[in-house]
Structure formats: structure tokens, C-alpha cells
Structure 1
Amino acid sequence: MSADESKSVEASSSAKAAAKGTADSIKSFISGGFGGVAAVLVGHPFDLTKTRLQTAKAGQYTGAIDVVKKALAVDGVTGLYRGVVPPLLGVTPIFALSFWAYDVSQKLIRTITPNRTSQTLSTAELAAAGFLSAVPTTLVTAPVERAKVLLQVQGQGSEKKYKGVIDVIRVLYREGGLPSIFRGSVATIMRDGPGSAAYFAAYEVVKKALTPKGADPSQLNLGAIIVAGGSAGVAMWSIAIPPDVIKSRIQSAPNGTYSGFLDCARKTIAADGVKALWKGFGPAMARAFPANAATFLGVEASRKLLDGFF
């Protein structure tokens, strides 16, 4: 083979690799959106219960079951889906960005470690990729969570100030501009950075452990996906509740209540003790397994479908 032919082959291989990388990123983006929709449909009632426990005045509820009973008494079954529109509208970009960023982060780690003996990432590297995936996602997650929390909280006895998600954004912008809409962004990254690290690492590790010897973990195995996805959710929420409590309080409180993440943490502990940082733990953990099993089923099934197209 001549030098020119060799260069042509190398160029063709590089072009094919680049095209494959782009296709993989697109598929990660789309499948992440499908996974997010599945997560919201399964998990929103649990999330509403968690948020109300975290933000309610002392003594307003006796526990998670009491929250559910009172929501049903006031609004019926639809009350359990109060505030569902913001996550449904935001879930596609949030989860799409998350899974896309996770895919890109894995490629980045391989790029900066060119002398590695295996293309398979270690558990620590998977966790690092998961943490990095939370950074761009926060740009969408923070305002969506802000709107969702305000809509969820106003159904527990406070004045119904907002008519819907568009009204929330409009009012927040009028009252405080973009800073008001993005309030709680620091708390969001404090929750989602470590949480995503545990999330993706746990999924990959558990799925690999449950895959039969000699089989490819990337192939669709419903049992392994359900258990690994559920385990990923449990791993994430086992460490994400304290910053989530602070995030919910910052995003639901009147202007000027807290000066920031640390101020909210200090005032929360001073008023209600350290145990207040674990409010909503029960509903969050109850939601974690089914919602995230649904997430990864949606991701893996849609990814397999997309692989058949390009």
C-alpha cells in the first residue's frame, strides 16, 4: 500500500470514528429524554410528598402518609401530580443533557488518559464522569426545580399565587429577574454533582455484576436493568437528601430569607436540628427504586430502538 493510500485509509477511519461518536452522542441525548419522561410519570407523587415534608411548618404533617391523605382530600388523585408540568416540560432536556454529558465525559476521560490499557472505565472514572454530567444539566434543572417546588408547596395550605408553570416563571422574572428564576442553583449542583457520581457508577457496576458471564452488559437484559437502575436511584438519594432539603427551602422561601446555601443549612439546623436535613428521606427512597428502574428501562429500550435506525 502506498503512502497516499495509507493516508486515505487513515482519514476514512477517522471520519467513520467521528461520525460514530456523533451518532452515539445524539442517541444518548434522545434516549435520556425518554428515560426522564418514564421517571417523572412513576416518581412524581413520591417527589411531591418529599418536597412538602421538607418545606412544611413543624407539625403540619405527621409523616409521608399524612401528606398523601391530605393531598387526596384537597385535590383527589390529581393532587399527587401537582407541579408535574415543570418536570415534564423540563425532563427531556434535563435527562437528555445528563445522559449526553455522561457520554461526553466518558470520552473526555479516555482522551486525557491516552496510555490506558483498557477502554473500560474504572468505578472512580465512572463516578467522575457522572459528576461532570451534572454541571451542564444544572442550567436546566435549577429553574425547572424552582417552578416545580413553588407549585408543589402552594397546594399545602399557602395562598395559591401561581396559576401554572408559565405564570410561575413570569412572576419570578417580574419580581427578581433571572437571579430569581435560577435561585437554588448552587444547592442544585451540590445535590446533583455527588448524586450523579453515585448514580452512574452504581448503575454500571450493578448491571455488570448482574450480567451473565460471557454476555455483553450493553445488551438489553431487563432484569439487570431494573435492578441496576433501581440501585442507582437508591445510591444517589442516599447521599443527596441533605442538599435537596436545603435546595427546596431556598427555592420555596420568601425573598431574603436565606443569603445562600450555608446560611440556609445553618438556620435549618438551628431551628429544627440536624435531623431536619433528612426530611423527606422516606418518600425519596421509596421513589428511588421504581422511578430510576423506569428511567434506565426507558433509556436502554429507546437506545436499542435507535441503534436500529442509525
Structure 2
Amino acid sequence: MSDSSSSEQAQQGTSTSENIKSFVSGGAGGIAAVLVGHPFDLTKTRLQTAAPGTYTGAIDVVKKAVARDGITGMYRGVVPPLLGVTPIFAMSFWAYDMSKVLIYKLTPNRTSKELSVAEYAAAGFLSAIPTTLVTAPVERAKVLLQIQGQGQGGPQYNGVFDVVKHLYKEGGVRSVFRGSTATVLRDGPGSAAYFAAYEVTKKLLTPAGSSPSDLNLGAVIIAGGTAGVAMWSIAIPPDVLKSRIQSAPTGTYSGFFDCARKTIAQDGVAALWRGLGPAMARAFPANAATFLGVEASKKLFDKYF
């Protein structure tokens, strides 16, 4: 959503208007991502959390979900990300822009006006930290709603507010935020790869003498899709553990590493890559939609405000 040639804009991006632009554009991108990617996400989560033998693969998950609930079954659990997606993505893209501003301020004597790949990655990592405050509870509710249709025991929820109410009653704020550590361990490195890959791809697609901000939407789609693939290439193992921690009955795991140990002991190391197929299938279209929404929103803001 930002380009390597706009270092002055990044350094001056602390203005209220730029903050609002980053925040709202990120939210628009997130809504686009959910609408495109939720069926893939549901398939991934069910593969990650189901008992061995429940499904033969991603296609089997889809067939059983559609047979049970119709095509709308592929959007089970979509309300939590839709309700949370605006603050999650809005905060992520805002925090990314603010992290770039911070890097510029911490390096006043820099020799290059452009951030390096490592600096883009650092800004991406930092953006995941405040975002977790929203991501963790939203994903906790989403996971519980997603697994509800696959025949597992436990409470049956009427919707996202029923989930949150039950979780709070069960264990207070701590229960609502279960999986926060796993979320940071997934989204920190994942966001580093995500934003760095986006910036690098945009730069590679920019003709000599042009600015990345002038790229057409087709190039934005390619860069956004590449960013998604880069993120999920490294994010699946912590995502598997996050899904298991957030969906398991209270007391099943004492923490992230206990979940990793028990998962490997019970299902083998390969279990840490469950859901890789749906995640990678989702990565390109969902994140292409994300950055398309972000860039289109920013251009709209630039035109009218």
C-alpha cells in the first residue's frame, strides 16, 4: 500500500489525514480479503483442528460442508472476521505506516532515502504487535464457529456475540484472548514477509523512471498476491498451533510450546503443516484483493480529499 519512492510522504505521514487514510484504506482491504478468502480459511481451520481421519483432504472438507449446510456453509464463522476485519486490517496498515515513520526517525543520518528490505520487514513485524489486540479475540471466536459444523463436541453457539459471552463467562478476558502468544508468533514473522514481499515486488514491477505509486491495478494484484504467498509460506506451523489452542477445551494445553509438543507427539511433525493447501490456495486471491482494496481506497482519498 506504500511505495519505496515516497520516503518524504512516509516521514511526514504522522498527520491526522494520513493516519485516517491508512486506517480506512486498510479496513477496506480487509473486507475484500474476507469476502474472497473465507471459504479457504474455513477449510484450513477444519483440517487443522479435526481428529485424524475426519477428512481425506481439502476437497473432502468442502464436500462435507456443502452437503451439510449448502454453499453458505463455506461462510460459517464469517461474522467475526467481518466485524473484526476493519480494525484488524486498519490497525495493521496504520501500524505499518507508523513503523516506517519510526524507522526514519531512528535513522536520521541514513544514506538512502528508501527503506531497505530488512527495514520493510522490521516495520511489518512491528505492525503485528498492536494488531494482536484485535486479531486474537476475533480469531478465537471465528475458529470456534468454524469447527462447530464438523461434529465435534462442546458448546454450540448462535453467533459471534454468543461465543464471546460464553468465553467471558467461562474464563474472563483470559479466555477471550486465548491464543494471543501464538497469534504474535504467527503474525510477527508473517507480516515481516508480507510487507517486505509486497514492497519488493512492486519495485520489481516498476518500469525505470517511474514510481511504484503509479503502478496499474494489475501490478498491484500481482504484488498483493505475492505478499500473501510469502506470508503463508512461513506462517502455517504457528497458525496450526493457534487454531488448536483456540479451539481446544480449557486445560488441554498450558501454552504454545506445550501445544507444539503434544501435537507432534500425537500426530507427527507433518501435522504442523495441516491446512497448507487451502492456506496457499487462499493466499494469492485474498491478499491480491486486500491490496487492491487498499490501493483503490487510497487513490479515491487522494482524488477527493
Give TM-score, length-normalised by structure 1. 0.93
Structure 1 position 180 matched with structure 2 position 178? no
Q: What is the DSSP-based 3-state SS (H/G/I as helix, E as strand, rest coil) of the residue aligned with 1:306?
A: helix
Structure 1 position 137 matched with structure 2 position 131? yes
Which consecutive unaligned segments of at least 5 residues does structure 2 have?
A: 1-10
Deviates more, 1:219-228 or 1:49-58: 219-228
Equivalent position of 1:238 in the other structure:
233
Equivalent position of 1:94 in the other structure:
88
Equivalent position of 2:8 in the other structure:
none
Residue 221 of structure 1: how far off its partner (Å): 1.3
Equivalent position of 1:266 in the other structure:
261
Q: What is the DSSP-based 3-state SS (H/G/I as helix, E as strand, rest coil) of the residue aligned with 2:15?
A: helix
Q: What does the per-residue CA deviation read over 1:235-280, in whole Å, with 9 as the maximum and x for residues that have no partner? A: 0000000000000000000000000000000000000100000000
Structure 1 position 166 matched with structure 2 position 161? yes
* d(CA) in 2 for partners of 1:26, 1:216: 23
Structure 1 position 54 matched with structure 2 position 25? no
Structure 1 position 34 matched with structure 2 position 28? yes
Equivalent position of 2:3 in the other structure:
none
* d(CA) in 2 for partners of 1:19, 1:229: 22
Residue 158 of structure 1: how far off its partner (Å): 2.3
Residue 220 of structure 1: how far off its partner (Å): 4.2
Q: 1:205 to 1:35 in 2, by over 3 A?
A: same
One-letter identity of the residue aligned with 2:106: I
**Which of 17, 21, 44 is equivalent to 1:23?**
17
- Conservation of the 8 A alpha-carbon contact between 1:154 and 1:161: yes
Structure 1 position 125 matched with structure 2 position 119? yes
One-letter identity of the residue aligned with 2:37: G
Q: What is the DSSP-based 3-state SS (H/G/I as helix, E as strand, rest coil) of the residue aligned with 1:116?
A: coil
Residue 167 of structure 1: how far off its partner (Å): 0.1
- Conservation of the 8 A alpha-carbon contact between 2:140 and 2:247: yes
Structure 1 position 295 matched with structure 2 position 290? yes
What fraction of aligned residue pairs are identical, expressed as a percent?
A: 77
1:5-20 equivalences under 5 Å are none
Residue 172 of structure 1: how far off its partner (Å): 0.3
- Conservation of the 8 A alpha-carbon contact between 1:220 and 1:300: no
Residue 21 of structure 1: how far off its partner (Å): 3.0
Equivalent position of 1:84 in the other structure:
78
The count of residues paired between Structure 1 and Structure 2 equals 294
Q: What does the per-residue CA deviation read over 1:172-222, in whole Å, with 9 as the maximum and x for residues that have no partner? A: 000000000000000000000000000000000001101121111012411
One-letter identity of the residue aligned with 2:72: T
One-letter identity of the residue aligned with 1:172: L
* d(CA) in 2 for partners of 1:109, 1:256: 41
Which consecutive unaligned segments of at least 5 residues does structure 1 have?
A: 1-16
Q: What is the DSSP-based 3-state SS (H/G/I as helix, E as strand, rest coil) of the residue aligned with 1:86?
A: helix
One-letter identity of the residue aligned with 2:182: A
One-letter identity of the residue aligned with 1:170: K
Deviates more, 1:291-300 or 1:204-213: 204-213
One-letter identity of the residue aligned with 2:158: K
* d(CA) in 2 for partners of 1:279, 1:19: 40
1:240-259 equivalences under 5 Å are 240-259=235-254
Instruction: Tell me the C-alpha RMSD between the 2 structures.
Output: 1.2
One-letter identity of the residue aligned with 1:39: A
Q: 1:100 to 1:203 in 2, by over 3 A?
A: same
**Which of 50, 67, 80 is equivalent to 1:73?**
67
Equivalent position of 2:148 in the other structure:
154
Q: What does the per-residue CA deviation read over 1:78-129, in whole Å, with 9 as the maximum and x for residues that have no partner? A: 0000000000000000000000000000000000000012221000000000
Q: What does the per-residue CA deviation read over 1:14-51, in whole Å, with 9 as the maximum and x for residues that have no partner? A: xxx96873322211111000000000000000000000
Equivalent position of 1:211 in the other structure:
206
